[in-house]
Structure 1
Amino acid sequence: KKRQKRESVKLKTRPEDFVVEEVTEGFQYGPNWGPYSVYSLTKRTMETQHAIYAMAEEFGVKREDVHFGGLKDKHAITTQYVTIENGPKKSYEQKSFSATYLGDAKRHFHSSDILGNKFKITLRNFADDVIPAMDKAINSRTLYGFPNYYGAQRFGSVGLSGEFAAKLWCAREYER
């Protein structure tokens, strides 16, 4: 008996299918609290580095003056914290991203300020009979955790240099 081929479950069909929000604990900011302007950067189908460069250009600052905690997925809608020393106290919006001014902090935002990421993931194109198996898999993740997959944002040629981060790490070249 020939088995009927099923289409596979679809992930990230649209940017709205994969929403990531940075979660922080302990990073404090408020009106006139310090010299570092704090922004919420929300981007859509755009690499983090490109959004940071565009933000620096719009605000008239050097790219190296824009600090953020980590790279976020390109094929998604993501929100993360960004700081600029003596940055403008204004927001900016364009088609692919927005930078919303939140207040000021006493220091830059850093990767150590990230508690984790909150995800909203939409799966498409699955048959109703797979729902029990999906529920079981989701429940096991609650008990045992979730594998941390990074993909191109960690191991691809995402840097403007075109170098692969994993290759440099293996060569113990951590600062490049």
Structure 2
Amino acid sequence: MFAEAVLKHRPSDFIVREAMALPVQDEPGPAHRYLVLRKCGYTTTEAIGWIAAKLGLRTADITFGGLKDEDGVTEQLIALPATALSDEDTGCVLSLTEADDRRLSLWHHGYGADPIAIGELEGNAFRVVVRDLGGSPAERFSALRKVNLLFLNYYDTQRFGVPGGPKRSHLVGEAMLAGDWSLALRELAGLGAPESDAAGAWTGQAKRFFDSLDPRAASFFLAAHSSHEWNTALAARAGEVFGDAALDVEIDTIPYRYARCGAAAAELLGNCREIPFVKRSLHNGLITAKTSTRASVVQTVVSVSGFGPDTEFPGRFQATLGFFLPSGCYATAAVRQLVSYIVHGAP
């Protein structure tokens, strides 16, 4: 919940489709098979682990362009060795349903010469239902059709923990970076993450547990720490630009400093277009670091439709938002700030 809106009340309220332009051919022959992974209730790493076990592959054999949350209905491309499946397997090649809100399926997409690499993803298209609207915000939403939205490009709360769990994954990364692997293991065991049960049961040397993980999973915790550092830097710059007009909020124990309107976000963009980001990863037992930049403010056009009585919250209203974001941006961060602007009367 944020301000006067509820997000992700149910998985179908948050639909994500990945945008990636890959050279694909229909006929077998290339080394890699591309498939569409449709899922709900699973993290990308959980889904990859299940697919690898089902097909007798290493998780490293399956590549993808980005992570998709478990608390929504998501669709993304993955690549695996073409020999892992028969060329006669087309359509839905694998599926798993544990419950209505916990399911996945894998669909044939085509063939290509190369695996999919992190960073190749152009962005994601979103369809998000905003619920529990009332009062003035509901009236303002009802009048909207398209919004030219500028928002602060924070890493949102899902970067720091799983739904319903403590938002402390950045503390795992912080302990890893400090070389305190025992603390990192204890923090991970308490996260409720897919790796937490195994971490809690681990009896060997703490660092060896992290070395045993898929490097992409282990590196996620370092990335969470870097993301928290970056958020702190953005909040500091926002404080310098906004002064007393800054809006300080806390969501799931994670602090944020927002603008009160899109015009203020544009002012921040004019003062600080990018902020350095230190990307850290764990591979072959070693932590490496590479510095890049991340946009401080992102602009997108949000289409507003489906405004009407809320089907889940009687006496309240809902609206459906459609928009596209570049890779690495968080739809929930965008929507929360849009709602905040509307609450304060100036989207």
Q: Are 1:174 and 2:280 counterparts?
A: yes
Aligned partners of 1:29 and 1:38 also within 8 Å: no
Question: When you count helix as a share of all residues, which structure comes out higher?
Answer: 2
Q: For residues 20-55 of structure 1, give each alpha carbon's deviation from its aligned partner in whole angstroms, at most 9, with x where no partner exists.
A: 100012443422151101110011011111000001
Q: State which of 140, 144, 147 in structure 2 corresponds to 1:139.
A: 147
RMSD: 2.8
Aligned partners of 1:48 and 1:71 also within 8 Å: yes
Give distance in 2, aligned partners of 1:39 and 1:55: 11
- Gaps of at least 5 residues in structure 1 are 1-6
Deviation at 1:133, TM superposition (A): 3.3
More moved, 42-51 vs 161-170: 161-170
Counterpart residue identity of residue 125, structure 2: K
The match for 1:14 is 10
- SS of 1:111's partner is coil
Question: When you count strand as a share of all residues, which structure comes out higher?
Answer: 2
Deviation at 1:10, TM superposition (A): 1.1
Identity %: 22
Q: State which of 21, 24, 29 in structure 1 corresponds to 2:20.
A: 24
Compared CA separation, residues 173 and 23, structure 1 to 2 (3 A): closer
Give distance in 1, aligned partners of 2:7 and 2:60: 34
- Gaps of at least 5 residues in structure 2 are 98-102, 162-168, 170-192, 196-209, 211-217, 230-277, 283-347
The match for 1:4 is none
Q: Which has the higher contact order (CA 8 A, sep 6+)?
A: 1
Compared CA separation, residues 173 and 120, structure 1 to 2 (3 A): closer
Deviation at 1:13, TM superposition (A): 0.4
- SS of 2:70's partner is coil
- SS of 1:121's partner is strand
Deviation at 1:104, TM superposition (A): 1.0
Normalising by structure 1, we get a TM-score of 0.79
Q: State which of 196, 204, 223 in structure 2 corresponds to 1:165.
A: 223
More moved, 30-39 vs 75-84: 30-39
Give distance in 2, aligned partners of 1:98 and 1:148: 31
Higher CA-based Rg: 2
Deviation at 1:100, TM superposition (A): 0.8
Aligned partners of 2:222 and 2:280 also within 8 Å: no
Q: State which of 4, 21, 38 in structure 1 corresponds to 2:34.
A: 38
The match for 1:3 is none
The match for 1:100 is 107
Normalising by structure 2, we get a TM-score of 0.43
Compared CA separation, residues 33 and 139, structure 1 to 2 (3 A): farther
Q: State which of 108, 113, 117 in structure 1 corresponds to 2:120.
A: 113
Deviation at 1:168, TM superposition (A): 6.1
The match for 1:152 is 158
Q: State which of 51, 55, 61 in structure 2 corresponds to 1:59.
A: 55
The match for 1:68 is 64
